[in-house]
Structure 1
Amino acid sequence: MGTENSVVVKRVLAFVIDVVLLAVVVGIAGAIFGALLGRLGGILTPLLSLVGVVYFIYMEGTYGQTLGKRLVGIVVVDEDGGACDMTASAIRNVLRLVDALPTLYIVGFAVMYLVSDRKQRVGDLVGDTVVVEAA
């Protein structure tokens, strides 16, 4: 099993994969809503962004991995190496808002490299999670 230090690039790649997959799904769903519901579909489409939040929380809380993390071979675990639960997943994912400040995850990267020896972002520190290479 690799160390937390070896997964930072994989974390970024996994996030990009997940965002692209979500953009495709949300784009298709938005187009369908728009075609079927007209103006009401246009109002509902922004609510689809919640799909992304639910996706990250559910996948990591249930499987420890999103599809992107699975493809690059990393997993979210608790600080003792056990499974990430739904509460920890919700905490780490809601705090993406802080990690992403002011843009491009500057806060998250600063915390990873300046505060955490285990390359944890704010969400990981508060949620007591760490991202490691999958076994």
Structure 2
Amino acid sequence: MSSSQQPPPAPPHDPTGPRADASAGLRVGALGLDTLLVMVPLFVVSALLFGQSRARDGAVSLSLSGLPFLLTVLVAAVYFFACELAWGQTLGKKLVGIRVVSEKGPQRTAGQVLVRTLLRVVDGFGFYLVAFVAVLASAKNQRIGDMAASTRVVRAR
């Protein structure tokens, strides 16, 4: 190649390529961060405002049940739905550098994100053990919600 010739441009990055799938470890890390940074504070505040709390002899207990519990779960689901629809990432996913994409390309639809969010109920059994096993067993590292929604979680960086 002469000095005046430029190398051919690199092919465009395909976020749905097979090597871009987020590992089980990254997915667990993202969920852990979402739990610590968003879910735990949400449930603590909800329990303090609408549930029962006790502090005695250096021990604290919080309890949240009934309608306040259901509304808090709904707020948690809205967090996952809204963040993944708007940006493809929750706070935890952003911090570990992964995002949700459609199997057909980078943009996900509201329907896809809704299916993923609703199936968190199934994936979440056993403290997300169902999701973890599904991700390990899937060639594309997908949980059940991803398979049903035709989505993948890929590296964002």
5+ residue gaps, structure 2, are 1-14, 53-63
Q: 2:130 aligns with which of 100, 104, 107?
A: 107
Q: CA deviation at 1:67?
A: 0.6
Q: CA-atom RMSD, angstroms?
A: 2.3
Higher strand share: 2
Query: In the TM superposition, what is the alpha-carbon distance from 1:44 to its structure 2 partner?
Result: 4.7
Partner of 1:132: 154
Aligned residues: 127
CA-CA distance at 1:108 after TM superposition: 2.0
Unaligned runs of 5+ in 1: 36-40
Name the CA shift for 1:106/1:30 in 2 (closer, same or farther; >3 Å): closer
Provide the TM-score with structure 2 as the length reference: 0.70
Runs in 1 of length 4+ with deviation above 4 angstroms?
41-44
Deviations 1:71-95 (A, max 9, x none): 1110000002321222111101111
Determine which of 57, 68, 72 is the counterpart of 1:45: 68
Contact 2:34 2:92 in 1 (8 A): yes
- Cα distance in 2 for partners of 1:105, 1:30 equals 23
Q: Percent identity?
A: 35
Normalising by structure 1, we get a TM-score of 0.81
Q: Which has the higher helix share?
A: 1
Higher-Rg member (1/2): 2
Secondary structure of the structure 2 residue equivalent to 1:13: helix
SS of residue paired to 2:140 = coil
**Change in 2 beyond 3 A, CA 1:76/1:42:** closer
